[in-house]
Homo-oligomer: A and B are copies of this chain.
Amino acid sequence: MKFTINRDVFIKTLNDVSRAIATKTTIPILTGLKLTLDQEKLTFTGSDADISIEASIPVSNDAADLQVAEPGSIVLPSRFFTEIVKRLPEKDMTIAVTDTLQAVITSGQSEFTINGSNSDEYPLLPEIADDHALQLPADVLREVIGQTVIAVSTQDSRPILTGVHIVIHDGAMLAVATDTHRLAQRIVRLEGAGDADYDINVPGRSLVELARTIPDSVDTIDVRIAENQVLFLLGNTAFYSRLLEGNYPDTQRLLPTEHTTAMTVAAASFQAAIERASLLSHESRNNVVRLVLTPEKNTAVLSSTSPDVGTVQEEIAFKALTGDTLDISFNPDYMKDALRVVGQSDVTMDFTSALRPFTIQPTEDTSQFIQLITPIRTF
């Protein structure tokens, strides 16, 4: 294998693929980057067994100025190779692979020789048929991911809860995640989803990396789903994730259908108050803030106490407050996450009692995005 290429273009693709490359793994070759060169393109492959990313630079890419001298392939130590490429002195670089699987990297007067591995030892990516392809707008996918991954479980005790449950049915996509303390569910209508019908569980970590990988230049993402793999096609980049096995619990029955107290606030200012209160709660063992709603007196008071350190209390400037008096306590970190993904709009919180989960929904658009937080008993 031998080629010359523009270093900036090479680094950009390298960074994309590096996201998938394992830093520690039981399969040593996965710490490597696979490079494959043919007459049409240079292909980068990185994988940590859960996520795999494959990206290509075609010879038709003018900025890349890819000159193919001899096709071939090799696996190079990813982290180390990346540091070298980033520090080379010139605009272009040449990589030539020797018979002894060494890569000779030259740029200006600088010449590195590094030991590689045989690409035959690198695992093959899964093959996924394209007969059930589905198209998703990139911005919708990015938003749905951001709104649901906050609620996936980070504990391995129930692996299915480390994923986001995605159901595509009847021209709509439902995405839901819960770690049993909180839940986030988003529904979007899909134009042209046709009769697509899927029920899959995608690891939360895969979705976080996917959202980071989607280039701004990509508007539409092709999704292909197989037995235990999903493939997202982002322009010249293919993003593979394994799927979680098992049945996701029924979350629909968790959503309350009625409420007795409701408060509407500006998400940003309520979040600032929650952050102040959490300064105290983080100093105490149980990390709890208390919200006392008194509609008949038109007051909402947020407070927290840490016996060693002190106390905080603050009157919340709400936009609406109706229903029964309520005294409820919850984990402020869950509320911070919930308000953050709602963004700069107003939210309505519907409460039933001090011990029943309450909902958080953007005020403008109540049918599409709902979050649930379970309160904490403090008495």
Query: What is the interface of chain A, defined by CB distance below 8 A to chain B?
Result: 77, 80, 83-84, 87-89, 102, 109-115, 269, 272-273, 275-276, 279-280, 283, 308-317
A273: B residues at CB distance < 8 A = 89, 110
CB distance from A122 to the nearest CB of B (A): 19
* B313:A111 contact, CB within 8 angstroms: yes
Known contacts A109-B317, A110-B276, A111-B314: A309-B89 contact under CB 8 Å: no
A309: B residues at CB distance < 8 A = 77, 80, 114-115
Identical copies of this chain, number: 2
* B317:A87 contact, CB within 8 angstroms: no
* A113:B310 contact, CB within 8 angstroms: yes
CB distance from A107 to the nearest CB of B (A): 9
* B283:A115 contact, CB within 8 angstroms: no
A87: B residues at CB distance < 8 A = 272, 275-276, 279
- Quick one: closest B residue to A316, CB to CB? B109
A109: B residues at CB distance < 8 A = 314-317
Instruction: Rank and list the top 8 A-B pairs by shortest CB-CB distance, nearest first.
Output: A114-B310, A109-B315, A110-B314, A112-B312, A113-B311, A113-B310, A87-B276, A109-B314
Measured in the bound complex, the distance between the Cα atoms of B312 and A106 in whole Å is 10
- Quick one: closest B residue to A272, CB to CB? B89
Measured in the bound complex, the distance between the Cα atoms of B88 and A311 in whole Å is 14
| Other contacts beyond A87-B275, A111-B312: 17, CB < 8 A | A77-B309, A80-B309, A84-B276, A84-B312, A87-B276, A89-B269, A89-B272, A102-B310, A109-B316, A109-B317, A110-B273, A110-B314, A111-B314, A114-B310, A115-B308, A115-B309, A115-B310
